[in-house]
Amino acid sequence: MYGYAMREDSHAFEHNPARGTSRRREPPPAVLDFYEPDEVEALARAAERGEHRHVSKLSYDAAETAARDAENRQDTELYRIAAYTGLRLGELRALRWADVSLVDRRLVVQRAFSHGIEGPTKSWQARFIPIADQAAEAFARLSTRDEFVSDDDYVFCSRVGRALDGSALRRRYQAAAAAAGLRVLHFHALRHGAGSMIAREADPRWVQGFLGHSSITTTERYLHTKARPDDVERLNRAFAPGPDRSLAGSSHTP
């Protein structure tokens, strides 16, 4: 900014005042926390039961009750798909049925909502990701609804087919987590969970492509967030005593 201000055709500053400042050390990123699959399912069940809604003393007719039940089921599957695809909230809101192929088990992520505007993804690149069984089953259940299932329709939509409101979606998600007895994490923790669980099985470059990270440095945060199930066994094998193990790999002579 100050460099631009020093240009003759802008403000012609004589010097850059930022050059004399000291660099401040940024705090380390917070430790990632996320829900394991059984917790994701508990979250989804709470939403399906409508426990993430405010308690109301109003009575509803059959049509309104059915509409609310459909909204609960949509939230249920949205939480599952978020947790098993790693899509950002803006990407989930912009997802259309044309982007979902259950036959090829492939998802194309090419749009996202940001500040209320639908546009390209954060990396400005489309990515193709495989669909795991859990996510495929959730998509299949959503596709059986009575309306808004054509190619141009949003996968997650309001009663009139419009994109969901992000703020309201976050509030319902946090209410569902609390109702399920879970620690209440940010919605983005569902994406953290997908990346961290996949990192237990896949190499960093694959995880980077799956999540759409522009930098491998971002992906590396997911590599050691929680222990892998076989970590203890791996360490025990490494530290197990054995004949001549103390000399293995050593170039020194006694």
Active-site residues, by number, are 88, 122, 188, 191, 213, 222
Burial-class residue 189 by CB neighbours within 10 Å (0-12, 13-18, 19+). buried
Q: Which helix (H) or strand (E) holds 140?
A: helix 133-142
First to last CA, the chain: 64
| 3-state secondary structure string across 38-84 | HHHHHHHHHHHCCCCCCCCCCCCCHHHHHHHHHHHHHHHHHHHHHHH
Distances (CA, A) of 235 to 204, 225, 239: 21, 17, 6
How are strands ordered across the β-sheet holding 106-109?
Answer: 100-101, 106-109, 127-130
The token pair that represents 58 in the structure block: 């109003």
Buried/exposed 23-57: b ≥16 CB within 10 Å, e otherwise: eeeeeeeeebebbeeebbbbbbebbbebebbeeee
